[in-house]
Amino acid sequence: MQSTKQAVFALGDREYGFDIMDVNTIEKVIPILPVANIPANFKGIIQLRGETIPVYSLRRKFGLPDVPTDDNTRYIIAKAGGMLVAYEVDQMKEIVQLEQDQLNEFPSILKSLNTSYVKFVTNVNGRLILGLDQNKLMAQEEEAMLNRKWDS
C-alpha cells in the first residue's frame, strides 16, 4: 500500500476514512427528498449545483440506527460506480496524511464479500481508523437498482 491522504469522518464513536483524491466535495446538510422504491441504505436525493445526487447512509450500511441530522452532519460527495453519491456521515474529523508504514492490512479472518470495502486499518494517536473504498461500499444489487432508477 502507498501513502495516502484521508478524509477522516465519524459515525458514532467509530472513525473511517476516504481517500481525499476520491472526494469531490464535503457539504453541510442539504434537504433530502425521499424517493420511493430505492434500496434501504439510501435516504433519498439532494440537489447540488444543478445535479441530482443520491444520499447513501453509512449508518444504515454498518447496521447503526438512524440519528437526526445536526450541525455536524456532512455529506461526502464522491464518485462510486461511475456516478456521484452523497455519503451521509455524523461528523468530519480531519484530513490526515498516512505513510505506507502506518497502513495495516485488514485482518484476513475478517475479510469477506461483506467487508471488501475496507482497504486498511490504521492507528492515529490511539484512534483506530478504517480506510474505506467507496467503490465497494454499495452491494451490487444496490448499485444496479440505483442505476436502473436513474436510467428510467
Residue 82's pLDDT is: 79
Residue 53's pLDDT is: 94
C-alpha cell at 127: 484512534
DSSP 41-106: TEEEEEEETTEEEEEEEHHHHTTPPP----TT-EEEEEEETTEEEEEEESEEEEEEEE-GGG-BPP
Interior CA angle at 62 toward 147 and 24, to 5°? 55
Residue 152's pLDDT is: 44
Pick the CATH number of 4-151 from 2.40.50.180, 3.40.50.150, 2.40.30.260, 2.30.30.280: 2.40.50.180
Quick check: 56 and 145 in contact, CB under 8 A?
A: no
**Residues listed for the chain:** 152
DSSP state of 112: S
- Give the whole-angstrom CA distance, residue 89 versus residue 148: 25
Mode of pairing for the β-strands spanning 74-80 and 51-57 = unpaired
Residue 148's pLDDT is: 66
Residuewise pLDDT in 10s, the chain (152 residues): 688 999 999 999 999 999 999 999 999 999 999 998 888 999 999 999 999 999 999 999 999 999 999 999 999 999 887 789 999 999 999 999 999 989 988 776 666 656 778 899 999 999 999 999 888 888 877 877 766 655 54
Residue 5's pLDDT is: 96
Helix (H, G, I), strand (E, B) or coil at 125: coil
- Give the whole-angstrom CA distance, residue 41 versus residue 57: 5
- Give the whole-angstrom CA distance, residue 52 versus residue 151: 13
pLDDT digits (tens, 9 = 90+) for 8-32: 999 999 999 999 999 999 999 999 9
Would you list the domain boundaries of the chain? 4-151
Helix (H, G, I), strand (E, B) or coil at 147: helix
